[in-house]
Structure formats: structure tokens, C-alpha cells
Amino acid sequence: MQTIFASPKHGQELTQQKSDMKILVCISKTPDTTAKIAFTDNNTKFSGEGVQWIINPYDEWYSLVRAIELKEADPSTAIHLVTVGGSECEPIIRKALALGGDEAYRIQCEENDSYVVAMQIAAFAKAGSYDLIFTGKETIDYNGSSIGGMIAAELDYSFISHATKFDIENSNAIIIREIEGGEETTSTPFPIVVSCQKGMAEQRIPNMKGIMGARTKPLKTIDATPTEPLTSISTFDLPPAKAGVKLISPDQPEELIRLLKEEAKAI
Amino acid sequence: MNTLIYIELNEGKLKKAALEAASYGGDIAKKIGGTANAVVLGECTDDLSELGAYGITNVFHVKNQSTTSFDARSFSKMIAEVVKAQNANILVFSNTIIGKSLAPQLSVMLKAGLVTGAIDLPKTENGFIVKKSVFSGKAFSEVKILTDLKIISLNPNAYNITKGEGKANVSVIETAVPENKVKVTAVQKVTGEVSLSEADIVVSGGRGLKGPENWGLVTELAELLGAATACSRPVADVHWRPHHEHVGQTGFAIAPNLYIAIGISGAIQHLAGVNRSKVIVVINKDPEAPFFKAADYGIVGDAFEVVPKMIEAVKKIKQGA
Ligand SMILES: Cc1cc2nc3c(=O)[nH]c(=O)nc-3n(C[C@H](O)[C@H](O)[C@H](O)COP(=O)(O)OP(=O)(O)OC[C@H]3O[C@@H](n4cnc5c(N)ncnc54)[C@H](O)[C@@H]3O)c2cc1C
Ligand SMILES: Nc1ncnc2c1ncn2[C@@H]1O[C@H](COP(=O)(O)O)[C@@H](O)[C@H]1O
């Protein structure tokens, strides 16, 4: 990336713009939000049987769309997509390409440990010297909220999590992030890793042109960087079923309040 | 064995999640031996020696220029230094916004296995295994940490605060001062409301409430109960309520003691954010609403008739008490 100094016009301040920015968007697949959660192999693996895979909503709705908007505002921006996983991720990354992005990479690797996944992306990002790396706030299956922070630490980039707005001003990233009970506006120089959530952008639906175009966009497979996992999954299990609802007559809401106080001891 | 707990502050005060993490770390030390110590970054107006009552022996307090605003990269570097100096074997965070930005960085810096979203004490009979919530509360997973140094990030409202006696030794310590690259230029806090992630009780409204002008029902009940307010996604999408109240799969995941859902159908994506609540109450005029299947108590009725009566009933017991 270069910093371009626009020549000042009469009475105008010298403005600094960002151009040729390289953005890496991390795309993860997850089971559809309504998928039945079941396990196999002695409860050590998620049963993918009959499951519809989708792009993790935070990646699709927020980080990818915001990256596309940045490119729409400045066409010199390059957007690369990366996913870590097996060949079953390909339809997902193609769908992401139909929304936008210039090229995509799939790193062939098991995705059992967040550290291993993050080190794959970090090694890839290091080689590509990206200015900006977007991840989602979390994957809705593993709920790790880990990959973004791990990539940032490995690359020694700044890290901003739970971003709700992203803009560029005077070569700095202006990011609004969520904090306890509110929001905070921050200004940070690049390079930077940002984990994205609601607010960043409005969900888009791929159009025909995008879908057709995605077929010819490059999707390359690369080999994993050997990495020792730091954790391993022992088992999965499901929570016990609820005993069933106790219904109270709509004429007696005071009975509900009494039960909440005396039986459930919740108020 | 040394357990080190990162104690989170909010505006210079100890957070409830931090006391949960202290109790959790204290109990780990009781279970496997060694001491539980705390690390605190930034000025604190509460008396840190009070952490002794939650099982903490020593508090290491770092106060320097870089702790005055939050830059996750600098904070992680300072914490890593304390972990090394104290030879900690287990590092505990709260799985909050702050914890989620720090724990993964420490995992890489120290090459230590991390489990986020822990909901119980580790099992140590056969390796070091931590139970966490996955699939947005629809399942659990037990994860083994394979490294010597272990990092756990504890879900808020998942572990009871245990308060006993005792004072901790507080020492102010020096670390290298990394330069903060993240500059905070403005803060917008929603004041006067109970924070959603720490609330014991949450009152939540959905599309069944018809419009923002009817939200007085939700806020009045919440205020009487000392509860936080929340809403379903479509309600935030049409701006009846602010985005930070949106709970569910793509919003906040919460686990209060009591969740009261008014005029919410209980779609699977909504349940994903609230199914860890201990007691769920549903008010919905449709007896077929899926939420009743996930509820403990329910009233099939019109919210506009039922909720005002609930408000009266709460007022009565409050006067009686
Ligand atoms: C990928 C994905 C992610 C999603 N993430 C989320 C999420 O994070 N959070 C979320 O909430 N949703 C989420 N959704 C949307 C979800 O599927 C539902 O559409 C949404 O939760 C419905 O909101 P609601 O219950 O307020 O509205 P509705 O489904 O319209 O339900 C309104 C309810 O109010 C009842 N009602 C009407 N009038 C009254 C009255 N007078 N008194 C009492 N009851 C009344 C009705 O019987 C009905 O049950 C997601 C969807 C998808 C596809
Ligand atoms: N296998 C993967 N490949 C690419 N990106 C991923 C992968 N897993 C997670 N991510 C990214 O990291 C974010 C957080 O994931 P997690 O830490 O698993 O909750 C996701 O929203 C993605 O942007």
C-alpha cells in the first residue's frame, strides 16, 4: 500500500488517502442456524449429515460486505478471501466470491483447534502483507471468538474486536467498537486485525452477475503450514431437556410473580 | 501450581464478571493446589485487597500510561510479562468483550492452549479438561488443553461468586510500557441502565409489542425488577430499540437468572442467545409459539393486558417486602 498525498487545491487542506489497500477477509463455514445439532464417533464429532452449510453470518453479513463497500469507494482496493478447511468449504467460498472479493484461497487443513487455524491464516497473511484483516466476531458453531486475536498476536498487528463501524480517515482506521454498556470510537494506524459484528454493514444477497462472475474468479488451494495443536476436543454433549412449561392463567399474572419469587427464587 | 486471574475493571471498578473469575480461579487453586493471584491493569477506585475474600492471595497491580485506555495489543504484552514473572500455570479471563480480545493473544504469545466460554471448573483426573458452551448454547464440549500453561476464559453468569474472609496483598508492579497504537477518541455510554451481560434479570420484547411507543411496558417492568432490557433481532433492525439490546445467535448471548420474553415467538436463532438463562418466562398470545417449549413459566395472553398486571403485582410485593 502507498500513501498518496493529494495535491492541495486552493484553500483545501492537504488530505491523505489510502489506496492500493489489501484486505484479507477470513471466511468460515458453519451449519445453518436451524440445523439439528447431533454428534457421531462416540460424541467426538459434529454430525454433518444432512446439514446445510452456510457462511458464518458475521463473516458474510458484516466483514465481507464492509470490505466490498470499501472497494466500491476506492477501486484500487484488493480483497482476498481465505478459508481454512477441507474441500467441503468450496461452495461456501464460491458463494462469498459471488458477493464480492477478487480472489480466494482455501488452506487444506483440519480445523479442530483454533490455534492451528489461526496460524494457517497468519502464515498466509504474512506472505501477502495485508493492511487489514477482517474476521467475524465469532463462529456460531464453535463460539471461539479466538481466531482474530490469535492472528493479530502472531503478526504483531493491532487488534480491535467487536467492531460496529469501520472507516478510513487520514490513513488511519476509524473504528467504533462495542464496550461494556456502550461504544467507543478509536483511531488506529494500519496494519490491523478487526473482528466484525452487527452495524458494520447491511446484509446483501448475491445477484446473478455476481454468481456468474464468481465462477471465473481464482480459487486456489494451498497446503497447510504444519502446526501442533494446543487443544483437542474430548466430547460433545447436549443439555438436558427442559421439564416443560408451567402455564399460568392470563387473569392471574400475580400468581406468576408469586411463583417467580417463592418457587423459582428468581426475583 | 499458580493460577493467575485477570481482573477486569469497568470505569475503575471491579466488575461482577471479575469477581466470578476470581472465585473460579480461587476454586481451581483449592482443587489442584498452589495459590490464586490476580493481575489488574489500570487505576482502580475499589479496594483491591478485598479480592482476598474471593480466594486471591496476591494482587499485582500495573498502572502506567498505557493502561489508561484499552489497546488489546499493549494489554496482552503487559499481562504476558506478569504471567512469566509469576510463573503462572493457569491463566483465567472473563469471556467478555475485553477477555475475548486478550485471551487469544496471550494464547499465541505464550503458546498456551485456550478454552473460551468455560462454564465449569476444569476436570483434572485425566489430563486438563474444560467444559465449554458451543453451538450458541445448544450443546457443550469438553476440551483438553495439551500445553503446560493453560488459559481459560470463563463465561459471565456461569460460576457462582463465593465470598469468604481474608485480604489479599496488593503490590504495584512495573512492566515494560508498550506504545498504544489504538487511540480512543470518543466514548458513548448508555448510562443509567443495567448492563445486559451482567444482569441477573433481563426483560425482553419482540415484534408482538407492535411498536416502540409500547416499550414502556418492558422498561417499567425492568426498572421495577432491577433488570436489563433486551429485544429480538427484527426489533433492533427496524430501530424500535438500539442494536446493543439485540440478543440471539447474531446478537448478544446472555445467561441471566431470569429471562422474561414478551411478544417474542422464540425462533431458534433467538433461543440460541438466551437458552442458557436459568429461568425463562414467556408471555405470548399464541399458544403455539415455539418459545413455550423452551420456557419454565408461561402465560398465553395479550401482553397489553398481562404485563400491566404483572407490573402491579411486582409493585405489591415490593411494598410488602
Ligand atoms: C441466520 C439468522 C440469524 C438470526 N439471528 C437472530 C438473533 O440473533 N436474534 C433474534 O431474535 N432473531 C434472529 N433471527 C430472526 C429469527 O429467525 C426470528 O425472525 C426473530 O427472532 C423473530 O422475532 P420476534 O419473535 O420478535 O417476532 P415474530 O416472530 O414476529 O414474533 C412475534 C410474537 O409476538 C406474539 N404476539 C403478537 N402480538 C402479541 C400480543 N399482543 N401479546 C403477546 N404476544 C403477542 C406473536 O404470537 C409472535 O409469537 C435470525 C434469523 C436468521 C435467518
Ligand atoms: N476455518 C476458518 N477459516 C477461515 N476463517 C476462520 C475459520 N474459523 C474461524 N475463522 C474466522 O475467525 C472468526 C472467529 O472465529 P472463532 O474464533 O472460531 O469464533 C470467524 O468469524 C472467521 O472470520
Percent of chain B exceeding pLDDT 70 equals 99
Specify the residue for cell string 498502572.
B63
The share of chain B scoring above pLDDT 90, in percent, equals 91
Angle at A102 between CA A98 and CA A104, to 5 degrees: 80
Alpha-carbon gap, residue A154 to B14, rounded angstroms: 30
Asked if A103 and A225 count as a contact pair (C-beta separation under 8 A), the reply is no
**Res A58 pLDDT > 50:** yes
DSSP structure string for B224-288: HHT-EEEE-HHHHHTTSS-GGGBBSTTSB----SEEEEES----HHHHHHHTT-SEEEEEES-TT
Which is more confident, B195 or B303?
B303
Q: Residue B49 has what pLDDT?
A: 98
* Closest Cβ–Cβ partner in B109, B141, B313 for A253: B313
- For residue B263, give the ligand nearest its CA: 1
The SS3 call for residue B189 is strand
pTM over cut 0.80 = yes
DSSP string covering A8-43, please? P-TTPPP-EEEES-EEEEE--EEE-TT----EETTT
Asked if the model's pLDDT at residue A256 lies above 60, the reply is yes
Q: Residues B44, B14: contact at Cβ < 8 Å?
A: yes
Chain B residues inside the 8 Å CB shell of A253: 299, 306-307, 309-310, 313
Model confidence band, residue A189 (pLDDT cutoffs 50, 70, 90): very high
**pLDDT of amino acid B197:** 83
CB B168 within 8 A of CB B38: yes
Nearest to A199 among B243, B297, B301 (CB): B243
pLDDT of residue B316: 94
* Interface contact flag, A57 B147, Cβ < 8 Å: no
Question: Looking at beta carbons, which residues of chain A come within 8 Å of B223?
Answer: none
Please tell me the distance from the alpha carbon of residue B80 to that of residue A134, in angstroms, as a whole number. Answer: 25
Taking 3-state DSSP, the helix, strand and coil percentages for chain A, each rounded to the nearest 5, stand at: 25, 35, 40
Rounded-to-integer distance, Cα B237 and Cα B243, Å: 8
Q: A131-145 pLDDT, tens per residue?
A: 999 999 999 999 999
pLDDT over threshold 90, residue B278: yes
Which of these, A32, A27, A55, lies nearest to A205 by C-alpha position?
Answer: A55
Do B113 and A186 count as a contact with CB atoms less than 8 A apart? no
The distance of B285 to chain A (nearest Cα, Å) reads 9
Average pLDDT of the segment spanning B118-141: 94
Cell numbers describing residue B199: 444482569
Collect all residues with Cβ–Cβ distance below 8 Å to A205 and sequence separation of at least 6: none
* Chain B environment of A254 (Cβ under 8 Å): 309-310, 312-313, 316
pLDDT of A156 over the 90 cut? yes
Q: Are strands A172-179 and A158-169 parallel, antiparallel or unpaired?
A: antiparallel
A231: nearest CB among B115, B281, B309: B115
Q: What is the pLDDT of chain B when averaged over all its residues?
A: 95
Residue A6 confidence (pLDDT):
38
- Tell me if A176 sits within 8 A of A163, measured CB to CB: yes
Evaluate if residue B235 carries a pLDDT over 90: yes
Q: Is the pLDDT of residue B217 over 90?
A: yes
ipTM confidence: 0.92
pLDDT score, position A69: 96
Write down the mean pLDDT value for chain A.
91
What is the Cα–Cα distance from A67 to A22, expressed in whole angstroms?
10
DSSP annotation of B161: -
Say if residues A158 and A152 touch (Cβ distance below 8 Å): yes
The pLDDT of residue A182 is 85
pLDDT at residue number B244: 86
H helices present in A100-247, as ranges: 114-128, 147-155, 208-216
Atom of ligand 1 nearest to the CA of B283: 43
pLDDT band, very low/low/confident/very high, at A4 (cuts 50, 70, 90): very low
pLDDT at A8: 36
Segment B143-158, tens digit of pLDDT: 999 999 999 999 999 9
Q: Which of A8-22, A64-78, A132-146, B21-35 has the lowest mean pLDDT?
A: A8-22
**Least Cα separation, residue A152 to chain B (angstroms):** 7
Please list the residues that pair with B230 across neighbouring strands: B204
- The fraction of chain A above a pLDDT of 70, given in percent, is 93
Residues with CB under 6 A from ligand 1: A 33, 57; B 206-208, 232-235, 248-251, 263-265, 267, 269-270, 273, 283-286, 289, 302-304
Distance CA B162, CA B23 (A): 6
Q: In terms of Cα–Cα distance, which of A160, A203, A201, A202 is closest to A183?
A: A160
What is the atom index within ligand 2 of the atom nearest the CA of A138?
19
For residue A181, pLDDT over 90 is answered with no
At A11, the pLDDT band (50, 70, 90 cuts) reads very low
Confidence (pLDDT) at A17: 58
The C-alpha cell that represents A32 in the structure block: 445453518
Lowest mean pLDDT segment, chosen from A90-94, A106-110, B260-264, B317-321: B317-321
Where are the alpha helices (H) located in A18-113, listed in sequence order?
Answer: 57, 65-73, 90-99
Q: Is the dihedral of CA B309, B313, B314, B315 positive or negative?
A: positive
What mean pLDDT is predicted for residues A212-220?
Answer: 94
State the average pLDDT over residues A226-248: 93
Task: Say yes or no for a CB contact (<8 Å) between B146 and A229.
Answer: yes
> CA distances (Å), B187 to each of A188, A259, B11, B222, in order?
15, 41, 12, 25
Residue B306 CB neighbours (<10 A): 24
Mean pLDDT of A46-69: 94
Which atom of ligand 2 approaches the CA of A85 most closely?
A: 1
